[in-house]
């Protein structure tokens, strides 16, 4: 193997290692869009991570009720409550977030990173009646 070829191979391997993993931001955070397939079924990433603690980036939707240990994460900022409108206006790529403490509401346009245990399957929240197909439990969040 020539020295020039091995140097190119080394540089190419280093460049590939520096690229973000598919379905993840550069810091390992899973992107909201990578939890769903185009038909809104769960993605391979979501299925593989079920039951694991993951980090997801997004924005806090305006809360359904005050003083709750629950909020909805959306992939884009939403200035008005998406759930106060007809179901036709609901975003189709949301994530229910369940925390252990009452949520400190963040401004709708502040990016967040949420860490929690990924749960899949239909669940109805006893307190709000909110139905989720996908959620993070035991979650913590911080500004991105």
Position 68 in a domain? yes
Over the stretch 82-93, which tens digit does the pLDDT of each residue have? 666 554 455 667
Into how many domains does the chain fold?
1
The pTM for the full model equals 0.76
Domain residue limits at 73: 23-143
Is residue 6 situated within a structural domain? Answer: no
Q: Is 32 inside any structural domain? A: yes
Judge whether 44 lies within some domain: yes
In a 10 Å sphere around its CB, with 0-12 CB exposed, 13-18 middle and 19+ buried, how is residue 121 labelled? exposed
Question: Which pLDDT band, with edges at 50, 70 and 90, does 47 fall under?
Answer: very high
List of residues 6+ apart from 112 with CB closer than 8 A: 57, 58, 59, 60, 73, 106, 141, 142, 143, 144
Residue 79 has pLDDT above 70, yes or no: yes
18 lies in a domain? Answer: no
User: Per the domain annotation, does 7 fall within a domain?
Assistant: no
8: pLDDT confidence band, cut at 50, 70 and 90? Answer: very low
| Chain segment 17-46, per-residue pLDDT in tens | 333 333 444 467 898 889 989 888 999 999
Q: What is the mean pLDDT of the segment spanning 139-144?
A: 94
**Is position 58 within any domain?**
yes
Q: What is the pLDDT of residues 90-133, one digit of tens each?
A: 566 789 999 999 999 999 999 999 999 999 999 998 888 888 89
Structural domain contains residue 1: no
* CATH code: domain of residue 74: 2.40.50.870
Angle at 19 (CA atoms; ends 110, 45), nearest 5 degrees? 70
- pLDDT, one tens digit per residue, over 54-68 is 999 999 988 877 789
């Amino acid at each position: 193997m020539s020295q020039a070829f091995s140097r190119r191979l080394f540089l190419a391997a280093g460049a590939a290692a520096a690229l973000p993993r598919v379905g993840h931001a550069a810091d390992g955070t899973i992107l909201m869009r990578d939890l769903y397939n185009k038909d809104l079924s769960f993605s391979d990433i979501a299925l593989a991570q079920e039951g694991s603690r993951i980090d997801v980036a997004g924005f806090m939707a305006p809360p359904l009720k005050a003083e709750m240990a629950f909020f909805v994460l959306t992939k884009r900022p939403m200035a008005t409550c998406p759930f106060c409108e007809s179901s036709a206006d609901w975003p189709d790529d949301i994530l229910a977030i369940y925390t252990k403490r009452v949520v400190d509401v963040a401004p709708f346009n502040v990016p967040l990173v949420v860490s929690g245990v990924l749960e899949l399957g239909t669940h109805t929240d006893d307190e709000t009646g909110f139905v989720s197909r996908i959620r993070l439990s035991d979650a913590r969040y911080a500004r991105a």
